[in-house]
Chain A
Amino acid sequence: DAKTTQPPSMDCAEGRAANLPCNHSTISGNEYVYWYRQIHSQGPQYIIHGLKNNETNEMASLIITEDRKSSTLILPHATLRDTAVYYCIVAEGRYGGSQGNLIFGKGTKLSVKP
């Protein structure tokens, strides 16, 4: 079973920041937080991941609380193309390439509206 809890849906206005929360209260010390998204009719796409420090890349920022029991994915300027289901996944740090061994939950359906 997935070790994360996410709201089933969220709305965001185009151009505004989208903040997607995730609870992972049972995360263990060697587990990372991964975020993927799935745009309708496409395969999941990796966004970002982190262990305990906040992370930022060209797509998004990941804020992890100090106790690591929750995190927030931030899309700084949401566009209509960001409408998708966003999955927060907790998994062991992967070495050797097994990053695809993931347990997906229900995710959050983000709707970006004009």
Chain B
Amino acid sequence: DAGVIQSPRHEVTEMGQEVTLRCKPISGHDYLFWYRQTMMRGLELLIYFNNNVPIDDSGMPEDRFSAKMPNASFSTLKIQPSEPRDSAVYFCASSSQGDTEAFFGQGTRLTVV
């Protein structure tokens, strides 16, 4: 398996624009997690899904952030409108029942100017 795949790897956008980050979990995994990492706040869990259903979105910072998982092999994290303070590295991770670990993707580095 190629692991958790995120795209794009880098995104630069202007303030006010809509940004969509994408994640393909490992095949067969039924949990998917979105994290954000900044120097100031470290790694923060934003939201996670089980069987495509959002379970806990308490980490989503504002209504400008939304996440969807339309099927077992794809999830998006959308920011609309984007702001400079959203600049961070966004990680997606997945896991499955019986696993003892979560597998992380390589991340998307978002820069909002």
Contacts and interface: CB of A to CB of B under 8 A. Distances in A.
Q: A and B bound?
A: yes
Which 8 A-B pairs rank lowest in CB-CB distance, beginning with the nearest?
A43-B104, A100-B102, A46-B101, A104-B43, A100-B33, A97-B97, A97-B31, A100-B93
B97 A42 contact: no
Interface of A: 41-46, 49, 87, 94-107
A106 B42 contact: yes
Main secondary structure on chain B at its contact with chain A?
Answer: strand
Interface of B: 4, 29-31, 33, 42-45, 48, 50, 55-56, 91, 93-107
A97 B43 contact: no
Contact of B102 (A87, A99, A105, A106): A99
19 contacts: A41-B107, A43-B93, A46-B101, A97-B29, A97-B30, A97-B31, A97-B98, A97-B99, A98-B55, A98-B95, A99-B95, A100-B31, A100-B45, A100-B48, A101-B45, A101-B48, A102-B45, A102-B102, A106-B42
Contacts of B104: 43-45
A103 B45 contact: yes
Nearest to B102: A100
Contacts, number: 67
Nearest to B92: A43
A103 B43 CA distance: 8
B50 A97 contact: yes
A98 B29 CA distance: 10
B42 A46 contact: no
B30 A43 contact: no
Nearest to B91: A43
A99 B56 CA distance: 14
Contacts of B56: 101
Given A98-B31, A100-B31, A100-B94, A46 B102 contact: yes
A27 B102 CA distance: 21
